Amino acid sequence: MDTLAMHISNGIIDGPVAAIFAAFALAVLAFCVLRGRRDLDDRLAPMAGLVAAFIFAVQMLNFPIFTAGVSGHLLGGALAALLVGPWVGALCVAVVLVVQALVFGDGGVAMLGLNITNMAILGTAAAYLLIALLLRVLPRTTAGLGVTAFVAALVSVVVASQGFVLQYWLGGTADLGGNLAGLAGTMAGVHLLIGIGEGLITATTVVTVAKVRPDLVYALRARKPAVPAPAVPTAGGLR
Amino acid sequence: MGAGHVHVLYRESASPVHRLAPEVKIAAMVLFTVAVVATPREAYWAFGAYALLVAAVAALARVGPRWLLSRALIELPFVLFAFALPFLGTGERVEVAGLSLSVDGLHGAWNILAKGTLGVLASLLLAATTTTRDLIVGLDRLRCPQILTQIATFMLRYLDVLVGEARRMRVARVSRGDDPRFLWQLRGFAAGVGALFLRAFERGERVYLAMLSRGYTGRMPAVWQGAGAATAGQWMAAATVPLAAATIAAVAVVLR
């Protein structure tokens, strides 16, 4: 269940760098808490919980790549950004990481700052910036939303993996010398493949949700007549 | 799903470690891990001392070494990375059994192995002695923002909802003549993942509205919190572990 690629274990990055990133992650999360409180209403609270549970389940799917002892998994940052917005989304991914580190020993506790920076902050931020851009550029159709979700998920995974390369460059405990470029290449290649899988899952999920309950997709809230889909009245939808 | 939310790693027992308040255990575990990571890697004896410390707590918690070590195997993928380091590293090299290995890489591998294993063992001990529900109560008492504990609470509840919905949908598929085997199960799953999400959400939303109508305000009622908050004595007792670890780390830094 543990992966080097995304869930950095204790001892891979040295202490000072881990401390700096922990402080950075803490500051950003504090900001997310402030902004997220404004977003979190009756509809978003259960959604945030479900998104976190979904990400938790999805991160169990792991792809080992034995050549370099690197493995990776799906992240869920783009899904979170689409469904609950960037602030609550980052918090969802962070909660998943904290619970995994505390309860499952997945990713070192002392490295939580690094893991949160990569997956919760970098991944979600990259995804949300792309979503904001693409939703404006692409046609307002289901296909447009699907493409947006796919691209955002793909890019966010690769960006998160490069976050690890940056951290290893700053404070890797073993000097790889000229192999750092190799590490960056391996990580990017592997995560491109993972990103495709992540993109497909994110796109199918978001498109299905947008078809049936467009009110649940945070990214579509700004524009009302977004995806032309019949609103199906459901028990939970009457409020 | 109201059955206490006992996760797979929890070991039911009434040991002194189980009885400690959760916030105390979380704080002790995090501080212990920080001390381990701050230790210079050349201080081999320090890691032996940490291992003894972990073993002592495990014995006190009545967690057997077999259970602990087999669960620690989840760190295996990153161990593979550690084994690659002596070959990838640069700088001074030594001959071991006919192989040219990098000294720096060997140190790096040892560093990852020792610190990673100790970290995994520490969190396994926390998991074995604390239910997830207590864990959230502990985080709440450690002044974790309410929005985070709220997301964590729902996450743990909805995990069960999600698994339950997935099982029901699989039964529905199979009973309509689908015969999923091995990898082909994935296709059916992928096609239904959006529907799974929606169904789980609508079920979860009903649960949430029911909670709201019963007076839920974002924090679980006091009854839910089980054991009371930590006493000064509990803090003192649990502080022995991180204090010992910090002493070892300080000595290791000074002796370097």
Interchain CB distance below 8 Å, A50 and B81? no
Does residue A130 register a pLDDT over 50?
yes
Does residue A99 register a pLDDT over 80?
yes
Interchain CB distance below 8 Å, A52 and B151? yes
Which pLDDT score is estimated for B151? 85
Q: In chain A, how many domains are there? A: 1
Which pLDDT score is estimated for B76? 63
Interchain CB distance below 8 Å, B115 and A11? yes
The pLDDT confidence band at residue B189, using thresholds 50, 70 and 90, is low
Does residue B163 register a pLDDT over 70?
yes
Residues in CB range of A17: below 8 A, 6 or more apart = A114, A167, A170, A171
Interchain CB distance below 8 Å, A50 and B201? yes
Interchain CB distance below 8 Å, A212 and B198? yes
Which pLDDT score is estimated for B110? 81
Nearest-CB residue to B159 (from A10, A56, A201): A56
The total of other beta-carbon atoms located within 10 Å of residue A24's CB is 15
What residue ranges do the domains of chain B occupy? 16-131+228-255, 139-225
| Residue A235: φ, ψ to 5° | -60, -45
Interchain CB distance below 8 Å, B194 and A204? yes
The pLDDT confidence band at residue B8, using thresholds 50, 70 and 90, is low
How many Å lie between the alpha carbon of A136 and the closest alpha carbon of chain B? Answer: 24
Which pLDDT score is estimated for A63? 55
Candidate ranges A127-131, B132-136, B234-238; pick with highest mean pLDDT: A127-131
Sign, CA dihedral B7-B13-B17-B23, equals positive
How many Å lie between the alpha carbon of A123 and the closest alpha carbon of chain B? Answer: 19
Does residue A53 register a pLDDT over 70?
yes
Q: Between A7 and A168, name the one with better pLDDT.
A: A168
Domain that holds residue A194: 15-220
Residues in CB range of A60: below 8 A, 6 or more apart = A1, A73
The total of other beta-carbon atoms located within 10 Å of residue A178's CB is 7
SS3 A89: helix
Q: What is the mean pLDDT of residues A82-92?
A: 88
The pLDDT confidence band at residue B1, using thresholds 50, 70 and 90, is very low
Q: Which of A48-62, A129-143, A146-160, A215-229 has the lowest mean pLDDT?
A: A215-229
Does residue A28 register a pLDDT over 80?
yes
Which pLDDT score is estimated for B74? 64
Mean pLDDT of all residues in chain B?
Answer: 77
Nearest-CB residue to B26 (from A46, A102, A216): A102
Give B127-155 pLDDT, tens digit per residue. Answer: 888 887 788 888 888 888 888 888 888 88
How many Å lie between the alpha carbon of A207 and the closest alpha carbon of chain B? Answer: 8
How many Å lie between the alpha carbon of A48 and the closest alpha carbon of chain B? Answer: 6
Q: What is the mean pLDDT of residues B237-246?
A: 83
| Residue A141: φ, ψ to 5° | -125, 175
Residue A194 within a domain: yes
The pLDDT confidence band at residue A13, using thresholds 50, 70 and 90, is confident
pTM of the model: 0.80
How much of chain B, in percent, has pLDDT values that exceed 90? Answer: 0
Environment class of B126 (CB within 10 Å of its CB; exposed 0-12, middle 13-18, buried 19+): buried
Nearest-CB residue to B78 (from A9, A56, A110): A9
Residue A120 within a domain: yes
Q: Which of A208-222, B71-85, B108-122, B224-238 has the lowest mean pLDDT?
A: B71-85
Interchain CB distance below 8 Å, A11 and B150? no
Query: What is the ipTM score, two decimals?
Result: 0.76
Does residue A68 register a pLDDT over 50?
no
Interchain CB distance below 8 Å, B119 and A212? no
Does residue A1 register a pLDDT over 50?
no
Q: What share of chain B is helix, strand, coil (3-state, %, to 5)?
A: 75, 5, 25
Give the residue from chain B lying closest to A92, CA to CA: B151
Residue A145 within a domain: yes
Q: What is the mean pLDDT of residues B212-222?
A: 76
The pLDDT confidence band at residue B251, using thresholds 50, 70 and 90, is confident
Interchain CB distance below 8 Å, A110 and B37? yes
Does residue A120 register a pLDDT over 80?
yes
CB pairs under 8 A between A and B: 252
Give B68-125 pLDDT, tens digit per residue. Answer: 887 777 666 656 666 666 666 666 666 666 666 777 777 777 877 888 888 888 888 8
The pLDDT confidence band at residue B228, using thresholds 50, 70 and 90, is low
Q: What is the mean pLDDT of residues B193-206?
A: 83
Query: What distance in Å separates the CA atoms of residue A41 and residue A7, rounded to the nearest whole number?
Result: 31
Nearest-CB residue to A103 (from B7, B34, B38): B7
Q: What is the mean pLDDT of residues A196-214?
A: 84
Residues in CB range of B31: below 8 A, 6 or more apart = B242, B245, B246
Residue type, B127: A
CATH (domain of A73) = 1.10.1760.20
Give the residue from chain B lying closest to A213, CA to CA: B198
Which pLDDT score is estimated for B2? 40
Query: What distance in Å separates the CA atoms of residue A111 and residue B119, rounded to the nearest whole number?
Result: 10
Check: CB of residue B50 under 8 Å from CB of residue B36. Answer: yes
